Amino acid sequence: MVRRVSRREFNFGLVGLIGGLAVGCAQTGTPAPGAGQPPAPPAAPREVKVGAIYPLTGPVASSGLDCRYGIELAAEIVNGKYDLPLPLAREEGLPNLGGAKIQLIWADHGGSPERGQAEAERLITQEKVVALIGAYHSSVTATASQVAERMGVPYVNAESSSPSLTERGFKWFFRTGPHDATFGKNLFDLLRDMEKKGVKVRTIGIVNENTLYGSDANKITKQYAQEYGYQVVVDIAYPANTSDVTSEVQRIKANNPDVLFQVSYTSDLILFIRTYKQLDYHRQVMRGDSAGSDVPQYAKALGKDAEYAVTRAAWSADITAKRPAAKAVAEMFQQKFGQPMTENSARAFTGMLVLADAINRAKSVDPEAIRQALLATNIPGDQTIMPWQGVKFDEKTHQNIYAQGVNLQIIGGQYYTVWPFDLATREIVWPMPKWSQR
């Protein structure tokens, strides 16, 4: 059979292709406007560029987008005038920089550490951003922040939860959100508090997905289990994005732990919960995995089946009862993006606000001044939308020492804070009701 495409047609195609490419390369090759000037002029610039690196394509794009919305909203609140008890909300722009506006430069890493690194470099050297925020995946944050460290540019991370990130002791790296160890401890604290209420827990099971995220959490869970005196009777690491989990669930069932700790990405979690139901497994599930899955889609996708599992979180929608700003922000979010604010959005929102606040206090876009300002950050809890005591970075690790988690349960289609008990908006349901009794 002869090909139907003539050479002329092909030439046209190729010329178009190469033309497009040339444009693309020219665009990437040309320095951004203003690159010729010194990077940090003392005079207040009209715009302050902040680079944001997130997974906007690929399997985790949905969480990346949540973060993006949070950051966009934070920038809008900083740039505009809003009557909210949040830093920089009531003034237009950054007052100490002559009302300069935050301009966000977005980059997509698609979950690849190598791309995260390259994008960080591109944003710093070509787009001349004064600081970076990102990158959701712990592995990408690891490489992207390495670039920032090397080039001396402040890097704020809000949502990566691998403890190793702040343990590196980087000079330019700051994390506002809690990490897995904090989250893990919160879950065990809840168990201990439940025992005070007379619930008997002796054995626990662990099931986690098998990449950086799940393995880290697995180690922490085992460590706390030992510390708090619980016996691990089943410990399952399964490959992420697996097509079937019945065997894993049967194994859990066969070992029958009192409480099951689960760390999965949303996709696998949906499959697991459905399989629990199918195979009638109804022990209390503690989800140490909110970072990947505390998204409304999880509740939406599973409907009633999503209820009663305990979830750790750094934020919950019902915090609005305790934090006046949170209510207004969540409403703005819903209106602007047509979806409810999620934990990821709230964390990214807070990270952006902390960064903007530091840039403002630095009174310039000089990296060292911003770094010093970040170090001096001390935002009280009631000026955030988080259930935290506030934001203050540890001098050595630059981890926010006030970051903490809450534990939630979905009851009647709504997330409720059930622990710490003094912040709880609803009594915890324990143990999970049997599937047949729902």
Partner 1 sequence: MVRGKLLPAAALGLLLLGLIVFPLVVTLPYPQHVMILIFLYAMMGLAWNIIGGYAGQVSLGDATYFGIGAYTTVILLRDLGLSPWVGMAVGAVNAVIVSVILGYPCFRVRGHYFAIATIALNEIVATIFTNWEYVGGAVGIYVPILPESFVNLQFHRSKTPYYYIALGMLIGVVLLNVWVGRSRLGYYFRAIRADQDAARSLGIDITRYKLIAYAMTAALTSLGGSFYSMYVLYIDPTSVFAFSISLLVVLVAVLGGVGTVAGPVIGSIILISLSEGTRVLLGGTGRALDVAIYGLLVMAISVLQPYGIVAWIRGLRRPPKTREVKVAGPAA
Partner 2 sequence: MTPDLLVQVVVSGLLIGFVFALISVGLTLIFGVMDIVNFAHGEFLMLAMFAAFWLYALFAVDPVFSVLVCGPLLFVVGVLTHKLLIRHILNAPMLAQIFCTFGLSVFLKSLAQFLWGPNFRSITEPLLGGRIEVLGVFFGLPQVAAAVGAVLATGAVYLLIYRTELGRALQATSEDRQTAALMGIDTERMFTLAWGIGAACVGVAGALLSMFYYIYPEVGAVFALTSYVVVALGGFGSVTGAFIGGLIIGLVQVVAGFISPAFKMVVVYLVYMAVILWRPQGLFGRW
List of residues contacting partner 2 (CB under 8 A): 1, 3-5, 57-59, 61-62, 64-65, 210, 236-239, 241-248, 250-251, 254, 266-267, 270-271, 274, 277-280, 295, 297-298, 300-304
**Residue that the structure tokens 């940090």 belong to:** 40
Q: Kindly tell me which residue out of 101, 168, 327, 392 binds partner 1, with binding defined by CB under 8 A.
A: 168
Closest distance to partner 1 from the beta carbon of 105 (Å): 8
Q: x/- string (CB under 8 A) for partner 1, residues 394-433? A: ----------------------------------------
Contact call for residue 57 and partner 1 (CB under 8 A): yes
Instruction: Using only the alpha carbons of the chain, give its radius of gyration.
Output: 23
Length of the chain: 438
Contact call for residue 306 and partner 1 (CB under 8 A): no
Residue 312: helix, strand or coil by DSSP? strand
Buried b (16+ CB within 10 A) or exposed e, 34-43: eeeeeeeeee
- What backbone phi and psi angles, to 5 degrees, belong to 134? 150, -170
Closest distance to partner 1 from the beta carbon of 252 (Å): 19
Identify whether the C-beta of residue 107 lies closer than 8 Å to the C-beta of residue 123. yes
For residue 204, what are its two tokens?
Answer: 């626990």
Q: Kindly tell me which residue out of 49, 63, 64, 311 binds partner 1, with binding defined by CB under 8 A.
A: 64
Q: Kindly tell me which residue out of 216, 248, 258, 268 binds partner 1, with binding defined by CB under 8 A.
A: 216
CA 433 to chain centre: 30
Residues 401, 394: Cα–Cα separation, whole Å: 6
Can you point out the beta strands (E) in 139-266? 155-157, 173-175, 203-209, 231-238, 259-263
Choose from partner 1, partner 2, none: what does 411 bind? Cβ within 5-8 Å by kind.
Answer: none
* Segment lying near partner 1 (by CB under 8 A), choices 62-70, 274-282, 311-319, 390-398: 62-70
Closest distance to partner 2 from the beta carbon of 68 (Å): 11
For residue 418, what are its two tokens?
Answer: 């059930």
Residues 77, 405: Cα–Cα separation, whole Å: 25
Closest distance to partner 1 from the beta carbon of 165 (Å): 10
Sign of CA dihedral 305, 177, 132, 85: positive
Closest distance to partner 2 from the beta carbon of 247 (Å): 3
- Counting Cα atoms < 13 Å in the Cβ hemisphere of 320 gives 16
Burial class (CB in 10 A: 0-12, 13-18, 19+), 92: middle
* Segment lying near partner 1 (by CB under 8 A), choices 212-220, 250-258, 386-394, 417-425: 212-220
Contact call for residue 9 and partner 1 (CB under 8 A): yes
* Segment lying near partner 1 (by CB under 8 A), choices 12-20, 193-201, 244-252, 313-321: 12-20
* Positions that interact with partner 1 (CB under 8 A): 2-3, 5, 7, 9-10, 13-14, 17, 20-21, 23-25, 27-29, 31, 56-57, 61, 64-65, 68, 106-108, 112-114, 117-118, 121-122, 125-126, 139, 142-143, 146, 150, 162, 164, 168, 210-212, 214-216, 237, 239
